[in-house]
Amino acid sequence: MQNLAQTLTAQAVNASLADLLLTLADTSKAISQAVRHGALAGVLGATEQENVQGETQKKLDVITNDMLKDALKAAGNVRGIASEEEDYVVEADKDGEYLVCFDPLDGSSNIDINSLVGTIFSVLPAPQGELTEQSFLQKGRNQVAAGYVLYGPSTMMALTTGNGTQFYTLDPKTGEFLLTEEKVAITPDTGEFAINMSNQRFWEAPMQTYIADLVLGKIGPRERAFNMRWIAAMVGDVHRVLCRGGIFTYPTDNKNPNKPFKLRLMYEANPMALLVEQAGGKASTGYETILDIEPQEIHQRVAVILGSANEVDVCLSYHDQDY
């Protein structure tokens, strides 16, 4: 089996980008260790701090953020960093060619119940000149690489450098990421959806109607049964979609009028959208293709609908109607 470095060479990925991806892979191995030690290492539970989005930070949110930040600052080819857990962009190397946006620990509400968590990352080209927030505000289409690492029963990485989406599995014996799926392909049709149903009463009319029709099953307009899954970690839900198809959504809601969306564009929606598109799926807000959004700020949030191409199209058709 090919390891990560060999696969990147075979794909003719630029050497500097390959180095950066190997740095991210190495750091994720260390994160995998920290996560695995759990209560034994005293890393569970919350801190007393909040991040810029008003969420109480878990200890592991802070630990994993520092691990990635330190590794990327030392890598030599990174110009700057944006993270869920950093209020502002962080300067790295003056001559660095890349910007890295990351969610160091996705699904952190799962930490204390020993359930699925992961790391999500997005790599953009660094523009010339001074590093500011503006340097990062590029469309998701500009990403030169995107991926996530899932700390599950096995540690897996999903990665794209624009040559399709690949899965790697961490070999616990050798500590190497080995290529276990060369061409991830999302089935265009599906009978499975993922949404936090407890927010139902807060959704807009198109999503209310779409989900209601799925739940009606055989007696509804879809004339077949749909199954539902929700892991509460986007990495886990998107991984399932990449493995066996499905539609995942965190739609617009009016629970809190100041916060109509939950997921973050730069380090959640964009990297997942690229992985999904590279695997033949689609990713939209309901009204706009995720990868074509012009970002306004690094912590911007968006509605996300992604997965099996035909099912995303069905969901989008509900957004075209008047209610």
When binding is defined by CB under 6 A, the residue of 6, 114, 196, 227 that contacts ligand AHG is: 196
Of 60, 52, 69, 146, nearest in space to 107 by CA: 60
Shorter beta-carbon distance to ligand AHG: residue 42 or 54: 54
The answer to whether residue 234 forms part of the interface with ligand AHG (CB under 6 A) is: yes
Q: How far apart are CA 60 and CA 153, in angstroms?
A: 19
Cα–Cα–Cα angle for 315, 318, 323, nearest 5°? 155
The answer to whether residue 277 forms part of the interface with ligand AHG (CB under 6 A) is: no
Total binding residues toward Mn ion, as defined by CB under 5 A: 5
Shorter beta-carbon distance to ligand AHG: residue 79 or 262: 262
The answer to whether residue 237 forms part of the interface with Mn ion (CB under 5 A) is: no
Work out the burial of residue 289: count CB atoms within 10 Å of its CB; fewer than 13 is exposed, 13-18 middle, 19 or more buried: middle
The answer to whether residue 67 forms part of the interface with ligand AHG (CB under 6 A) is: no
Decide which of Mn ion, ligand AHG, none touches 262; Cβ closer than 5 to 8 Å per partner kind: ligand AHG
Shorter beta-carbon distance to ligand AHG: residue 7 or 252: 252
Cα–Cα–Cα angle for 103, 106, 110, nearest 5°? 155
Element (H, E) at 63: helix 59-75
Of 302, 298, 301, 295, nearest in space to 80 by CA: 298
DSSP 268: I
Residues 69-108 that bind Mn ion (CB under 5 A): 84, 103, 105-106
- With b for 16 or more beta-carbon neighbours within 10 A and e for fewer, the 83-95 pattern comes to bbbbeebbebbee
Shorter beta-carbon distance to ligand AHG: residue 217 or 261: 261
Part of the chain binding ligand AHG (CB under 6 A), chosen from 12-20, 99-107, 160-168, 201-209: 99-107
When binding is defined by CB under 6 A, the residue of 262, 299, 301, 319 that contacts ligand AHG is: 262
Per CB under 6 A, residues contacting ligand AHG are 55, 84, 103, 106-109, 196, 232-234, 250, 262
